[in-house]
Amino acid sequence: MRKYDEYLKAEVKGIYRVVFRDKYLSRLSIFVRPVYVILLACPEWGDLVLPIYINEPEAMSIQMALEGFKPQRPLTHDLILSMLESLGITIEKVTVDGVISGVYVATIVLRDDRKSKPEYKYIDARPSDSIALAVRAGAPIYVARHLVEYTVPADQFDYEENESTSEEDSLYEE
């Protein structure tokens, strides 16, 4: 059983497309596909944020959920949540637990109320998928306290509040 007092409640501060201003970096083949960063903030951290780099599909999925955008047909995260709900299972919370070999790891905590006593299941997942599901389900997001060592000042990111609203930089098309 995990000790949740070792976790801090977090919120999504924003999702932004990473723009490499260095001409050399922008030409490297590993940066051919767009890369996004999701910034998690905890009140205890003040002006620090935890940046987690994610791929475009997950960024779009999270952004759509944050904005309340409902696609005509369910996307993958909508489908997963619908399946869980149809089985009587809810997402209790998600946790960003640590970093292994430079990669963040997370857990989706499921609650099954179909029996007289609730049962909990812990599912290993990527933070991007965990956050996409949490935002849709209205479930809280927690970050392990020790991850404060990976935080950076929020003003380190070169972004404007409405940057993603321009047609060129939009995460998705309506």
The vertex-148 CA angle with 147 and 150, nearest 5°, equals 70
Region 109-125: what's the mean pLDDT? 95
Tokens representing 29 are 């083949």
Picking from 51, 36, 53, the residue whose alpha carbon sits closest to that of residue 143 is 51
In this prediction, residue 165 has a pLDDT band, given cuts at 50, 70 and 90, of very low
pLDDT tens column, 35-93: 899 999 999 999 999 999 999 999 999 999 999 998 899 999 999 999 999 999 999 99
In this prediction, residue 107 has a pLDDT band, given cuts at 50, 70 and 90, of very high
Rounded to an integer, what distance in angstroms lies between the CA atom of residue 6 and that of residue 86? 32
Q: Which CATH architecture has domain 4-160?
A: Roll (3.10)
Phi and psi based region of residue 102 (left: phi greater than 0; alpha: psi -120 to 50; beta: remaining):
left
